[in-house]
């Protein structure tokens, strides 16, 4: 799936949901994903948002995926 990039402007609690989404995407791109969520990867690609400020490591992403699982 591809499409236009969507600008996201969230703050506070709603912005933390992007961290969960990003964690699922990072997990999905790992060699041995916990969830393997390709929709999260596609959604992150489509959002115009600076995910680097999330500072989510591969270990953090695995933890996020385990909680979701």
Residue 29 placed within a domain: no
Task: Dump pLDDT digits (tens) for 15-28.
Answer: 888 989 999 999 99
Determine phi and psi for 53, rounding to 5 degrees: -75, -10
Q: Is residue 69 part of a domain?
A: yes
* 28 in any annotated domain: no
Rounded CA separation 63/13 (Å): 19
Q: Is residue 19 part of a domain?
A: no
- The structural domain count of the chain equals 1
Whether residue 2 has pLDDT greater than 70: no
pLDDT tens per residue across span 37-49: 999 999 999 999 9
pLDDT band at 62 (very low <50, low <70, confident <90, very high): confident
Task: Identify the sign of the CA torsion 22, 55, 67, 13.
Answer: negative
Between CA 52 and CA 10 the distance in angstroms is 15
Residue 65 within any structural domain of the chain: yes
Alpha-carbon distance 25 to 65, whole Å? 9
pTM: 0.81
Domain that holds residue 57: 36-69
Note whether residue 53 is domain-resident.
Answer: yes
């Amino acid at each position: 799936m591809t499409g236009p990039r969507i600008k996201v402007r969230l703050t506070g609690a709603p912005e933390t949901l992007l961290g969960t989404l990003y964690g699922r995407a990072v997990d999905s791109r790992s060699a041995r994903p916990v969830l393997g969520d390709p929709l999260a990867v596609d959604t992150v690609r489509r959002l115009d948002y600076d995910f680097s400020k999330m500072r989510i490591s591969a270990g953090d992403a695995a933890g996020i995926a385990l909680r979701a699982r």
